[in-house]
Amino acid sequence: MNVLSCENVGINFGGLKAVNDFNLTIDEGELIGLIGPNGAGKTTVFNLITGVYTPTEGTIKLQGVPINGQKPHLIVHQGIARTFQNIRLFSHLTVLENLKIAQNKDMSYSPFSGMLRLGKYWQEEKESTEKAIEILDVFDMTKFAYQAANSLPYGAQRKLEIARAMATDPKLLLLDEPAAGMNPTETDELMDTIMLIRNEFGITTLLIEHDMRLVLGICERLTVLNYGEILAEGNPREIINDPKVIEAYLGKGE
């Protein structure tokens, strides 16, 4: 069964077609890469899927249910989580709090229950902490639980952002350039983390990345975007030998 399907999706910004006729189907458990030169519209695709932008054309479906036009937080509730190109953490809050905020949607005690510290508050807070610690354990970050997010090393901050996305309990995870700014060792560690998410939790993942080592190392299928349109699709080996793709990245050879 496919988790995500984009059907002829497009968006216009005042006459400029940032993304046009975008089609993509992702099956459950797949790990797919979205690549393309700078300015090709990759992040725009993420913004369309997560509801930051509303597509002017086409339909986006999550497990067969259309989601376009919905507010971003409701799309999260339905099971799509993301990370950002430039890390966006709740910097002054602790690692644990970062995760618990993502779990807010699964908690139900009322403001009054919180104000008066009724039984439901204690129960749900306890469950939420336990669940957050579980996720941190998987990411090997439990030691950071009570530290402020902005005090973490860079690689750990990237990992925290993924862990926070996982805390929303997603069906589909969108990673926007997770390896940006990382050194080779950190990238290796990141690749392990992404594989872990796939193997341990079985989460379907779509990622944007420029680091070809990472893309070729873990992605099963690639979609190449250029000038807002799909240029090529296929398995990584085919893609890197595709003359159209090489041309898009390097320019036409003489």
Binding residue (CB under 8 A) for other proteins from 2, 121, 216, 246:
121
CB of 132 to other proteins, least distance (A): 12
Distance CA 44, CA 254 (A): 32
According to the binding rule CB under 8 A, does residue 217 interact with other proteins? no
DSSP summary character for residue 172: E
Number of residues counted as binding other proteins (CB under 8 A): 48
Rounded Cα gap, residues 27 and 200, in angstroms: 17
Q: Which is nearer to other proteins, 149 or 218 (CB)?
A: 149
Smaller CB separation from other proteins, 65 or 116: 116
Residues 48-107 that bind other proteins (CB under 8 A): 50, 52, 71-73, 76-77, 81-82, 84, 88-94, 96-97, 100-102, 104-105, 107
130 exposure class (CB count in 10 Å sphere: 0-12, 13-18, 19+): exposed
Q: Is 90 left (phi over 0), alpha (psi -120 to 50) or beta?
A: beta
Q: Which of 116, 130, 251, 252 binds other proteins (CB under 8 A)?
A: 116
Q: Which of 137, 146, 184, 213 binds other proteins (CB under 8 A)?
A: 146
Closest CA to 191 of 168, 171, 207, 173: 207
